[in-house]
Amino acid sequence: MVLARRALAGFWCAAVLAACSGGSHPSSPASTGGGAPDDGGVTATGADGGAADGGTPDAGSPDAGAPDAGTDGGTALTPPFTKDGWTFYGTAQGLSRDVNDASADEGGNVYVAGGDALYAKRRGDAAFQRYDAAASGLTQNCYAGLPAESDPAFPAAINRVHPAPPGAPRLCPVVSVAGAAPGTAVVGLKGIGTDEDLDADWAQDSGGADLVQFDGAKLSRTRHLFLASPPQTVCVAPDASGRLVESRATSCPNPPDPFFWQVGRRKLRQVLRIAVNHQAGTPLYGDAFLGGTHASITAYLHDSAARGLRDRTAGQPAKWADAKDVWEHDHPAFWSNTRNAFLTGYTHAVAVDPRSGTPWCSNGFRTAWLRGYGADLHDDVWWLEPETAANPLWYDFWPDNAVPTESIDDNVESLAFCDDGTLWIGSSAHGLARRDPGGGVTYLSLPDPGTHGDSVYAVACDPSDQSVWIGLGWGGLLRWRDGQFTALDPAGLPDFARQPVRSIQIDRWSNPRIVYAAFMASADASGAISAGGGVAAYAGP
């Protein structure tokens, strides 16, 4: 099962930190649950990473708006508001109100996951263009006619007793994005449901990710990523103690029937976070790591055949072709007696260590890194570390119980590497932790946590000076530099500058570098957006 974390309401801390004055804030994200912050991707010198909020509303939202490659209808376009090195993009610059993520590719093109569509522009353009399924060929594998996820009727509506979908195919909500090589990006979709093996095939096959290319005017899908293991990949068999264990295999004696060996394994439908490897000139360049519901880490492996990866789609039915080059999945999950649940969580935190290209992930409860992955892919049996006496269930950065399986309140939402290998960990409940390159961990609380809560949704390390950008669960943006916090003062800025920041990604290929912060929307009790989001770009010192 998947155990969701709470979405946080809160307050806005205005101006520079010593004086914080609160105002009430809308309580919940908009129509797409959990976004994906900073790309966590790695360059030849380093990277940044991060993650955000946790709700997961309706997977059946329609592909709103007319099918075109223009802007969202009904809003007159105006130049973006600029101030002190900041540029602000909202609906008047072509975006939707439902901003989830923003990321630049290595050519400076900028992509925004806007719920109803993917939005894109060249670095210097004043407005975004809207690309829905009709305009770009984005995959349509969600369906009309479903109740909202919050509706008690939703689980039954997607059960396998319904062999056919209830309505026409449509674009799933676009909830995450990561820029890759110049003119390319990876786009995460929010599929139907989470991880139930008894869901209908059409629900289990929904969501996933698309690869796209963009030339400044036209955007098109180049392929879909079915984030799944084909049949004859995952074996469920007893270990020496008799406990059933899932593992990748080439044979599987007496498997339970029907189960993963016969029908394949499909766990990552809602892609909430994507990190791309940017180590040009290495075999790892272009690999992407995706996390979301159930699965903390799944890999798309660039040039996998040349690196020796077994093609497990060979000989399988045609629907599995889009699972080629995919390694599916792992998570730092465990059983909690207190919750009476197997805690897989929602992953919004994925990042790549710039020193080695090793991917890290967190499901909110625990944080881990992937062993076995690398340039040589002949062996595809990989696992998460560490599992040691000191860390029996991976990294527990905020232990709150002597019993490891009952210490479950890390609430990690974000991971970000600096160029030297320093890892910043953001928590929606505990503020920040810093793991130095040698493995030592220190902690940093936000200003006035008693009033606002120690709530971090997104974090990114600035390559220009190793300062840290912090997206707040209670709204707004901080920067930690030279031992001091400063805040983006929302006075006189677009209203969305008071919203929580779901994503921070940095375009390190521009000169100067550009920091992109995605401010998330809020919704009322009915799920309707009550306060829209937007994107802020900073090119100052």
Q: How confident is the model at residue 38 (pLDDT cuts 50, 70, 90)?
A: very low
State how beta strands 456-461 and 468-472 pair: antiparallel
- Provide DSSP, 132-181: -HHHH-----EETTPPPTTSTTHHHHTBTT--S-SS-EEPPPEEEEEE-S
Distance CA 486, CA 284 (A): 36
Q: Are 506 and 462 in contact (CB under 8 A)?
A: yes
Query: What percent of the chain has a predicted confidence (pLDDT) above 90?
Result: 80
Average pLDDT, the chain: 88
Residue 74's pLDDT is 63
DSSP label at 498?
A: G
Peptide bond into 238 cis (omega under 30): no
Q: How confident is the model at residue 449 (pLDDT cuts 50, 70, 90)?
A: confident
| pLDDT tens for each residue of 278-308 | 999 999 999 999 999 999 999 999 999 999 9
Supply φ then ψ for residue 174, to 5 degrees.
-90, 110
* Sequence-distant (≥ 6) Cβ neighbours of residue 114 within 8 angstroms: 95, 96, 98, 99, 100, 130, 174
Angle at 463 between CA 460 and CA 469, to 5 degrees: 30
Of 515, 518, 445, 497, nearest to 53 by C-alpha is 518
Picking from 86-95, 182-191, 384-393, 466-475, which range would have the lowest pLDDT averaged per residue?
Answer: 384-393
| pLDDT tens for each residue of 413-427 | 999 999 999 999 999
- CB atoms < 10 A from the CB of 391, how many? 15
| pLDDT tens for each residue of 508-522 | 999 999 999 999 999
Q: Are 516 and 23 in contact (CB under 8 A)?
A: no
Residue 255's pLDDT is 82
Q: Are 261 and 255 in contact (CB under 8 A)?
A: yes
* Sequence-distant (≥ 6) Cβ neighbours of residue 370 within 8 angstroms: 297, 299, 330, 358, 359, 360, 361, 382, 383, 384, 385
| pLDDT tens for each residue of 266-282 | 999 999 999 999 999 99
Instruction: Report helix, strand or coil for 524.
Output: coil
Residue 214's pLDDT is 99
- Which domains occur in the chain, in start order? 28-161+168-538 (2.130.10.10)
Q: How confident is the model at residue 244 (pLDDT cuts 50, 70, 90)?
A: confident
Average pLDDT rounded to a whole number, residues 48-54: 33
Task: Examine the pLDDT at 438 and tell me if it is beyond 70.
Answer: yes
> Which residue shows structure tokens 């306060």?
531
Distance CA 256, CA 237 (A): 8
- CB atoms < 10 A from the CB of 414, how many? 34
- CB atoms < 10 A from the CB of 532, how many? 21
| pLDDT tens for each residue of 371-381 | 999 999 999 99
* Sequence-distant (≥ 6) Cβ neighbours of residue 486 within 8 angstroms: 16, 17, 478, 479
Task: Examine the pLDDT at 11 and tell me if it is beyond 60.
Answer: no
Task: Examine the pLDDT at 30 and tell me if it is beyond 70.
Answer: no
Of 197, 179, 196, nearest to 188 by C-alpha is 179
Model confidence, pTM: 0.88
Picking from 228-232, 428-432, 453-457, 525-529, which range would have the lowest pLDDT averaged per residue?
Answer: 525-529
Pairwise pLDDT comparison (237 vs 13), residue with the higher score: 237
Number of separate helices (H) and strands (E) present in the chain: 5, 40
Q: Which residues of 365-422 form beta strands (DSSP E)? A: 367-371, 383-385, 412-417
**Hey, which residues does 330 pair with through a beta bridge?**
297
Q: Cα dist. 12→17, 19, 290, 432, 501 in Å? A: 11, 11, 31, 18, 11
**Hey, which residues does 456 pair with through a beta bridge?**
472
Residue 383's pLDDT is 96
- CB atoms < 10 A from the CB of 195, how many? 19
